[in-house]
Amino acid sequence: MKKLPKFKSEEKEVRFWDTHSPLNYPKEFVDIGVPFEISPELLKRALGRKEERKRLLTLRIGQHQIDLAKLIARCKGIGYQTQMRIWVIEGIRKEISEHPEMRKFVTTR
């Protein structure tokens, strides 16, 4: 049976779990005995959503901004393109909330 390695940093642990499964280390984890329940309302909302197909978008962004986005994303444990997509979505939501007259042009997602 495999033993979990000791990690020198959270970053190394994140990299490890990107390529390994906890299922390969069954003796290293303990069942806490608390049942996991999903709210029926949350489940309905999640099942009702259809993932929108993502389309390729090309932006010219300075290398410094890309490096900063990579650093921030790494600290959060996500990819930098995902982080940038989150920022775009947040920016759109902010603009719509600050300019209510735009809501009539926006379909709810």
pLDDT tens for residues 67-103? 999 999 998 888 999 999 999 989 988 888 888 787 7
In a domain, 74, yes or no: yes
Whole domain around residue 91: which residue ranges?
A: 57-109
In a domain, 89, yes or no: yes
pTM of the full structure: 0.51
Give residues with Cβ within 8 angstroms of 39, minimum separation 6.
none
In a domain, 52, yes or no: no
Surface-to-core class of residue 10, CB atoms within 10 Å of its CB (0-12 exposed, 13-18 middle, 19+ buried): exposed
Question: What CATH number is given to the structural domain containing 76?
Answer: 1.10.1220
What tens digit of pLDDT does each residue of 35-65 get?
Answer: 777 788 887 777 776 777 888 889 999 999 9
